[in-house]
Amino acid sequence: MLDKNITRYTTINEKQIILGQTSSGVWYCKELPCNTCEEADVNIGKINSVLNKYNNQMKEKTVKLKKPDVKGLE
pTM: 0.56
User: What residues make up the domain containing 45?
Assistant: 36-64
| Kind plus residue range of the DSSP H or E element containing 30 | strand 27-31
Residue of 62, 64, 72, 63 lying closest to 25 (CA atoms): 62
Residue 66 pLDDT: 63
Within-domain flag for 71: no
Higher local confidence (pLDDT), 26 or 9:
26
Please tell me the total number of residues recorded for the chain in this structure. 74
∠ CA 42-48-53, nearest 5°, is 135
Higher-pLDDT residue of 69 and 73 is 69
Is residue 25 situated within a structural domain?
no
Total domains present in the chain: 1
Q: Could you tell me if residue 47 is inside a domain?
A: yes
**Cα–Cα distance between 4 and 65 in angstroms, integer?**
70
* pLDDT band at residue 5 under the 50/70/90 scheme: low
Tell me whether residue 53 is in a domain.
Answer: yes
pLDDT tens digits, one per residue of 15-66 = 788 888 888 888 888 888 888 899 899 999 999 999 999 888 877 666 665 6
